A and B are shown apart, each in its own frame.
Chain A
Amino acid sequence: MGGTTAIKADDVLLDLKDIHMYFGKVAALSGVSLQVRKGDIHSVIGPNGAGKTVMMNIINGLYRPQKGEIRFKGQLINNIRPYQRASLGMARTFQKVEVFGGMTVLDNIRLGRHIHFKSGILSGAIYAGRVAREEIEHRRFIEEEIIDLLEIEHIRHKPVGMLPYGLQKRVELGRALALEPELLILDEPLAGLNLEETEDMARFVIDVNEDKRWKVTCLLVEHDMGVVMDLSHQVFVLNFGNMIMNGTPQEVQNNPQVIKAYLGEEDMYATRR
């Protein structure tokens, strides 16, 4: 299959090798391999039911594949639990927003920060010296870096459950960023957003990926072809649990197999532009 150029071993952040995943006798993924290069925005596209979300859940650790290897930063992580993967530097957002609806925006984001707290319950109770400094540092990070970036100052103290969908998606992204991840998995970040919100969200993803402060590698699952083709460095096409191709947006758009399986008629792509 065209387009896949070998990446230097040092540059590979995430490496999936021959992943098989079955639910009963239904094969959700049959032998999928994917390499994500550090610093890229790598998109995964495919029709509904192709196995994209299953793939994300496998990377994130919610599912365990029956066969295959998952390596993150060179380390084999098949047997590492989802919450431990978070501390390894992996964060994600969900297709259907999963936020802590009863908590405020700030609390949601702070919760993403908790793995970076070093001090224990006792020193926290005394609250002096290192602990106080640590807290101030975390607060500054949350306030200045995340809230400013995502432009959500005005809703900091609102309970997330009360916010409109578009803002909830933003909060979810903020919470994922609070982990300061190296790999950010975005499962359909644009689904259900209006045009303006889509543009904002796409801008945030670019910021997070390109800004020197962040430099986060993104794995993006998305249906909005216009955005995918504009944003991505690499695109991975999945259909019925099999890879169709992996390559640059240009290559993908010109591949007849992809056009047949997914992009379909000319006008579908044109309308989303």
Chain B
Amino acid sequence: MDLLLMTLTTGIMVGGIYALVALGWVLIYKCSGVLNLAMGEMTLIGAYVSLSFYSMGVPFLLSLLFSLIIGFILGILTERIFLDRLIGEPVLTVIMVTVGLSFFFKGTVEFIWGTDTRVFAPPVFSIEPVRLGPLIIGEVYLWSFVAAIILLVVFVCFFKYTRWGLAMQATADDEMAALSVGVSARFVYAAAWAIAFMAAGVGGTLLGNINGLNISVGYLGLLVLPVVVLGGLNSVPGAILGGLIIGVLQNFCGAYLDRYFPGGVKEVAPFAFMAVFLLFKPYGIWGWERIERV
């Protein structure tokens, strides 16, 4: 029973981080219809940036803030340099460009930071677990979850209640009409990439705090794919729910299946689940019933 409860909580907490990264992904998809396959590497870059600042002695929150700022700049640059000229090109072309971007980002990361696993030293969160009633949770997980939830709320409020957010929604809904009422679509695309990069950076930093940081965190970032497919590609609540489901699923597989199929069940399970799930609900939980197929 204890194991069940523990696995469930940890799963939800990690799922919060996935949800955050997935939200950034959904934003890009909603606004511009781009299936971004470089999301994993974007989490990686954000994580390494904040690690670098932290290693230089900058306080953790401040390094996180710096990684947000740099993420913002990189997001805008990526959009301007690589994707702006692809507006109006076939979806597949754009997807292939994001694949290229993912290799480019990964190469850049290996070039700058190397391939060894690096950790946040001294540890940001204490190893002593926190007790909440019957639950025992690692501090990393708890704070990651809290941070992810706060940022999720901020992003959702931004999207729903600010003029820029509304402009993004409008562009997602109908680009021509948005242009005709004075919304700049280029601005919206750039903003979507900036926000996605920022969300990925925070997600990566938190993930890096859990297991240490190396290229494989990028694969964790790629978990957004099952997450968003589950939620339905363009649905913000779907991304959040999908994130939680994948987090829980992954941890359950780790806890219960790993002893029968040792090595890697945790990594494979989300994708296997996604494949089965799509047989029954091809549009995800809350997706539009019209999806670009790759």
Q: Judging by beta carbons under 8 Å apart, are B180 and A98 in contact?
A: yes
Chain A residue, CB-CB nearest to B175: A98
Q: Judging by beta carbons under 8 Å apart, are B180 and A176 in contact?
A: yes
Q: Judging by beta carbons under 8 Å apart, are B176 and A94 in contact?
A: yes
Chain B residue, CB-CB nearest to A61: B179
Taking the complex as formed, is A91 at the interface, i.e. its CB lies under 8 A from any CB of chain B? Answer: yes
**A62–B173 alpha-carbon span in the complex (Å):** 18
Which of B108-116, B162-170, B193-201, B209-217 interfaces with chain A? B162-170
Which residues of B lie under 8 Å from residue A91 when comparing CB positions? 180-181
User: What's the tally of chain A residues with a CB closer than 8 Å to chain B?
Assistant: 31
Taking the complex as formed, is A193 at the interface, i.e. its CB lies under 8 A from any CB of chain B? Answer: no
Which residues of A lie under 8 Å from residue B164 when comparing CB positions? 121
In this complex, which of B163, B170, B182 has the most chain A Cβ atoms within 10 angstroms of its Cβ?
A: B182
Taking the complex as formed, is B22 at the interface, i.e. its CB lies under 8 A from any CB of chain A? Answer: no
Q: Judging by beta carbons under 8 Å apart, are B173 and A103 in contact?
A: yes
Q: What is the 8 Å Cβ interface bit string for chain B, positions 142-177, against chain A (1 contact, 0 not)?
A: 000000000000000000001110110110011011
**A175–B181 alpha-carbon span in the complex (Å):** 8
Taking the complex as formed, is A92 at the interface, i.e. its CB lies under 8 A from any CB of chain B? Answer: yes
Taking the complex as formed, is B202 at the interface, i.e. its CB lies under 8 A from any CB of chain A? Answer: no
Q: Judging by beta carbons under 8 Å apart, are B182 and A101 in contact?
A: no
**A175–B182 alpha-carbon span in the complex (Å):** 11
Taking the complex as formed, is B185 at the interface, i.e. its CB lies under 8 A from any CB of chain A? Answer: yes
Taking the complex as formed, is B183 at the interface, i.e. its CB lies under 8 A from any CB of chain A? Answer: yes
Which of A29-37, A79-87, A205-213, A250-258 interfaces with chain B? A79-87
**A101–B182 alpha-carbon span in the complex (Å):** 18
Other-chain contact of B170, A60, A94, A100 (Cβ < 8 Å): A100
Taking the complex as formed, is A216 at the interface, i.e. its CB lies under 8 A from any CB of chain B? Answer: no
Other-chain contact of B181, A101, A103, A115, A124 (Cβ < 8 Å): A115
Q: What is the 8 Å Cβ interface bit string for chain B, positions 21-42, against chain A (1 contact, 0 not)?
A: 0000000000000000000000
Which residues of B lie under 8 Å from residue A82 when comparing CB positions? 179-180
Which residues of A lie under 8 Å from residue B178 when comparing CB positions? 83, 100
Q: Judging by beta carbons under 8 Å apart, are A114 and B174 in contact?
A: no
> A103-B169, A111-B166 are known contacts. Are A179 and B177 too (CB-CB below 8 A)?
no
Q: Judging by beta carbons under 8 Å apart, are B166 and A114 in contact?
A: yes
Taking the complex as formed, is B93 at the interface, i.e. its CB lies under 8 A from any CB of chain A? Answer: no
Which residues of A lie under 8 Å from residue B184 when comparing CB positions? 81, 83-84
Q: Judging by beta carbons under 8 Å apart, are A111 and B180 in contact?
A: no
Chain A's nearest CB lies how many Å from the CB of B178?
8
**A176–B183 alpha-carbon span in the complex (Å):** 13
Which residues of B lie under 8 Å from residue A44 when comparing CB positions? none
**A6–B162 alpha-carbon span in the complex (Å):** 47
| Chain B binding surface, main DSSP class | helix
> A100-B170, A100-B173, A102-B173 are known contacts. Are A83 and B179 too (CB-CB below 8 A)?
yes
> A114-B163, A115-B182, A117-B163 are known contacts. Are A98 and B177 too (CB-CB below 8 A)?
yes
For the A-B complex, the count of residue pairs with Cβ-Cβ distances under 8 Å equals 73
Which residues of B lie under 8 Å from residue A103 when comparing CB positions? 169-170, 173
| Chain A binding surface, main DSSP class | helix
Q: Judging by beta carbons under 8 Å apart, are B182 and A100 in contact?
A: no
Q: Judging by beta carbons under 8 Å apart, are B180 and A101 in contact?
A: no
> A99-B174, A100-B174, A117-B163 are known contacts. Are A62 and B169 too (CB-CB below 8 A)?
no
Which residues of A lie under 8 Å from residue B176 when comparing CB positions? 62, 94, 98
Q: Judging by beta carbons under 8 Å apart, are A94 and B163 in contact?
A: no
Which residues of B lie under 8 Å from residue A112 when comparing CB positions? 181
Q: What is the 8 Å Cβ interface bit string for chain A, positions 71-111, against chain B (1 contact, 0 not)?
A: 00000000001111011000110100011111100010001
Which residues of B lie under 8 Å from residue A60 when comparing CB positions? 180
Which residues of B lie under 8 Å from residue A100 when comparing CB positions? 169-170, 173-174, 177-178
Q: What is the 8 Å Cβ interface bit string for chain A, positions 41-67, against chain B (1 contact, 0 not)?
A: 000000000000000000011100000
Chain A's nearest CB lies how many Å from the CB of B175?
9
Q: Which A208-262 residues have C-beta < 8 A from chain B?
A: none
Chain B residue, CB-CB nearest to A57: B176
Chain A residue, CB-CB nearest to B176: A98
Sample of 12 A–B contacts (CB below 8 Å): A82-B180, A83-B182, A83-B183, A84-B182, A84-B184, A86-B180, A94-B180, A100-B169, A101-B173, A102-B173, A114-B167, A179-B181
* Chain B residues within 8 Å of A, Cβ to Cβ: 162-164, 166-167, 169-170, 173-174, 176-185
